[in-house]
Structure 1
Amino acid sequence: MAGQAGRTVNDLRRSNRAAVLQRLYFDGSMSRQALGPATGLSSGTISNVVGELAADGLVEEAGSVDSGGGRPRTLLRIVPASGHLIGVDVGETRVRVELFDLTLTELARAERVLTGHGYDVGVIVEHIRDAIGDVLRHAGTTAGHLVGVGVGVPGIVARTPQDGAVVHGQTIGWDAVPLEALLRDACGLPDTVPYFIENGARTLGQAEMWFGAGRGAQSVAVILFGSGVGACHVTDVAEQGRALEWGHLTVKVQGRRCRCGALGCLEAYAGAEALLERWREAGGCPPEGSDEETALGALLAAAYPAGEGAADPVALAVLQETAEYLGAGLSGLINLFQPERILMGGWAGLELGPRFLAAVREYATAYSLGYPAGRVTIDLGALGPDAVTLGAATLPLAHFLAAGGRRARPAREIVAPAWRAALEGRAVH
């Protein structure tokens, strides 16, 4: 039965459950008495909701606290093992899959290195399928305990009624890849396990906003600096986070050719791949046959040698130029979105950041309008190089909490009402 605003009793119950779960999740253990003011729900509603959640195995008692002279108050908490989450990072050099409990404690992880096949869609799907199987076996759990699977990918993610999430990854050669449909067919998970596929910068942004250096801010721009560069603008309402193809902002007319095919993109100067290529062109010598992570380490060692060794002026110059391009790129985010904070993450960003973040700040200020530049702070992300995987796991977690802890149910077959079949023969043809 619908209420005056079109809400049904089930909608109201789901909303109440979501309010309690979200408060317990983000604020930690609380008593029934504290949950009332925190959620705006009556004591009777809190009692009913807590009873439902406890019966579903989602909430349990977790000790008690002194009530200031009265009877001790029982604390409640979310049961960590009441559901499992999978986060997937389709990165530049590897596919990483992690299994978490509801508190985002890691239970198992598996990685697949990307070799000569690169971003071949079939290979990526196989890697994800096999790695999901590995983490479930390692943790001794089954797919039936999964709340959902989150996947962070390069490129733009659109959605269609037929295929779900479709990835447009121009830099990796993906043209309208129906990744959700491919994963659902390949992985063989139950129909009740939903997939949530987003741009990797978007997942990183949500993780930093919820649990990292973005906590407490109303507007944050998060930079994913890896082989390429991307960004996400996130507000204090997680659903408003939006991935930005920031790496393909033109920073030099008729400049270097980017891997997307255009000229002068920021990514053609500031991504790890382009940075190393520019070092080679300037006379640098990365270790023969090394991967990007090893080569970037060699560049840093050349520019900032240990002990009393002389710095390589070529390596220093390349890093300084990269800092200027990054600062100029950040000025666009500052002027357009006026964020409170800019956070740089990704494996390359976290490795380079301690060395040249001060220069990036200076250039960003110089290229930006004074007022927004004076209000923004630029720092490193707080969740480490694996934060895309963690952020991917928050996608099903957010849906689970918003649904009041209800898991998805298989779609029921729709049976036409009897009158429709009876009257079909009377239709005029």
Structure 2
Amino acid sequence: MRPRLSGDLRRANRVEVMRSFYGGRTLTRADVAGQLGVSVATAGTIIAELTAAGLLEETESTKSAGGRPASRLRMRASAPYLIGVDLAETYVVAEIFDQAMNRIGHFQTEVAPSDNDPESVVGHVVDCVEGVITALDGVGAADVAGVGVSLPGQVDREAGICLHAPNWGWHGVPFRALFQRRSPLPVLLDNPLKAITLAEMMFGDAGDHDDAVVVNLGTGVGLGVVAEGRLLRGRTNSAGEWGHTVLVADGLACHCGSRGCVEAYVGAAALLDLLSEVDPDSPLLVPGDQAGTVARLAEAVGRADPVAVATLERFARPLGMALGNAVNMLNPELLVIGGWVSRAFGEPLLAAVAPVVKEYSLAVPYDAVTIAASHIADDPVSLGMAVLAFETFVLP
């Protein structure tokens, strides 16, 4: 275990202080001290450093127990700006935020799943980054402190390399270097499981729970883990690859090269396959168009279309089984279901899957967990990546 140096500890404390202000919160020094478990004097010292750096500002005062007004603080909603990129198998979303994490711009492009050459994918990302900047009056690249890009695979954050993206067949792609050939902006990489979980911790329901699981349902699937109030990364940043745990021995082929993976049964492609099995001639199905088909399917579920309802019920079986495994293994207080597939269906997906989770969970951990849909309105992956960019490129 690497010893934590005093400089590491000081920076970790600054990160924790800033995180306490996300979501538009206004806090006193005593509030911050209580949340971090440090003295008011220590909290005051950290806050003074962050205020001097232009990251916090004083706002209204509030009465304290001693009668003397205590000033409240908040994050400064100003430049420099941060860009979070949600790079998925079928789309690229770039969103720009001020340093208080208010979203001020959005740019999106659709990408064919077969368009997965690394140079081409990087080009799409750079185009979206430039597009979201250009769309804002009075904002240029010089006003952007950095970019956080989420890649759908395993990432070496230090080296800036995509180690493995199974749906694209990538191995050892030097993504950061390819990006920096095309753009002068600083960039960092992570994967969507970490980004979406961080967003839920800072802006969603997971922040109120010490132990939580955040599920990402899309073309690929995975989950993020909050353990004792902290994001669990694992030794190689690979914690949460639940999508590539085996649900059915010798089952369906998965893009990762294995068989029977959770993703092979609950990824977006599997949902399209289920629809085709229920009704091969369904007008809801457009082969190759995952997002469009899922949107039509979700709309049809909302009007109780029997084919759509049957498809969702069949989809809920393997999903509930896999989530039951996660509940048994991780014993969370909260299970948040997010990702673009979940956002498309909303409450009907939750209603279909919850009884299956109960069926495949042990009684004690199931009774301790609350299952909820994500309530973050913005793209949580972009938001989480912007937070990481802020903490990497702006926070002293």
Same fold (TM over 0.5): yes
Bigger radius of gyration, 1 or 2? Answer: 1
Indicate if the aligned counterparts of 1:221 and 1:234 stay in contact, CA closer than 8 A.
yes
Pair 1:17–1:213, CA change in 2 (3 A): closer
How many equivalent residue pairs?
385
Once residues 9 and 323 of structure 2 are traced to their aligned partners in structure 1, the CA distance between those partners, rounded to angstroms, is 43
Once residues 103 and 382 of structure 1 are traced to their aligned partners in structure 2, the CA distance between those partners, rounded to angstroms, is 19
Of 250, 255, 258, the residue aligned with 2:254 is: 258
Percent identity among equivalent residues? 34
Letter in 2 for 1:240: L
User: Match for residue 281 of structure 1?
Assistant: 277
Indicate if the aligned counterparts of 1:345 and 1:384 stay in contact, CA closer than 8 A.
no
**What are the Cα deviations for residues 392-426 of structure 1, in whole angstroms up to 9, with x where unaligned?**
1121234468xxx32xxxxxxxxxxxxxxxxxxxx
> Post-superposition shift, 1:188?
1.5
Pair 1:263–1:24, CA change in 2 (3 A): closer
Once residues 47 and 302 of structure 2 are traced to their aligned partners in structure 1, the CA distance between those partners, rounded to angstroms, is 57
Instruction: Report which stretch shifted further, 321-330 or 146-155.
Output: 146-155
Indicate if the aligned counterparts of 2:151 and 2:192 stay in contact, CA closer than 8 A.
yes
User: Match for residue 97 of structure 2?
Assistant: 100
Once residues 22 and 300 of structure 1 are traced to their aligned partners in structure 2, the CA distance between those partners, rounded to angstroms, is 35
Indicate if the aligned counterparts of 1:209 and 1:236 stay in contact, CA closer than 8 A.
no
> Post-superposition shift, 1:249?
2.2
1:197 correspondence with 2:189 = yes
**What are the Cα deviations for residues 72-92 of structure 1, in whole angstroms up to 9, with x where unaligned?**
444333322153211000023
Long gaps (5+) in structure 1? 407-429
User: Normalising to structure 1: TM-score of the pair?
Assistant: 0.79
Of 143, 147, 154, the residue aligned with 1:149 is: 147
Letter in 1 for 2:177: A
Letter in 2 for 1:295: T
> Post-superposition shift, 1:358?
2.4
User: Match for residue 171 of structure 1?
Assistant: 167
1:207 correspondence with 2:202 = no
Once residues 67 and 154 of structure 1 are traced to their aligned partners in structure 2, the CA distance between those partners, rounded to angstroms, is 48
Indicate if the aligned counterparts of 1:252 and 1:265 stay in contact, CA closer than 8 A.
yes
Pair 1:220–1:387, CA change in 2 (3 A): same
Indicate if the aligned counterparts of 2:244 and 2:263 stay in contact, CA closer than 8 A.
yes
SS for the counterpart of 2:325 is helix
**What is the aligned-residue RMSD (CA, Å)?**
3.1
**What are the Cα deviations for residues 223-242 of structure 1, in whole angstroms up to 9, with x where unaligned?**
11112322111235444356
> Post-superposition shift, 1:218?
1.0
Once residues 170 and 132 of structure 1 are traced to their aligned partners in structure 2, the CA distance between those partners, rounded to angstroms, is 25
Of 353, 370, 373, the residue aligned with 1:377 is: 370
Q: How does 1:10-409 map to 2 (within 5 A)?
A: 21-25=18-22, 28-31=25-28, 40-41=38-39, 43=41, 52-67=49-64, 72-115=69-112, 117-139=114-136, 140-159=138-157, 163-189=159-185, 193=186, 195-241=187-233, 243-284=239-280, 285=282, 286-288=284-286, 291-303=289-301, 305=303, 311-312=305-306, 314-384=307-377, 386-399=379-392, 405-406=395-396
Pair 1:203–1:317, CA change in 2 (3 A): same
Indicate if the aligned counterparts of 2:153 and 2:162 stay in contact, CA closer than 8 A.
no
SS for the counterpart of 1:76 is strand
Indicate if the aligned counterparts of 1:209 and 1:220 stay in contact, CA closer than 8 A.
no
Letter in 1 for 2:295: G
User: Normalising to structure 2: TM-score of the pair?
Assistant: 0.85
Letter in 1 for 2:366: A
Long gaps (5+) in structure 2? none
SS for the counterpart of 1:378 is strand
Indicate if the aligned counterparts of 2:333 and 2:368 stay in contact, CA closer than 8 A.
yes
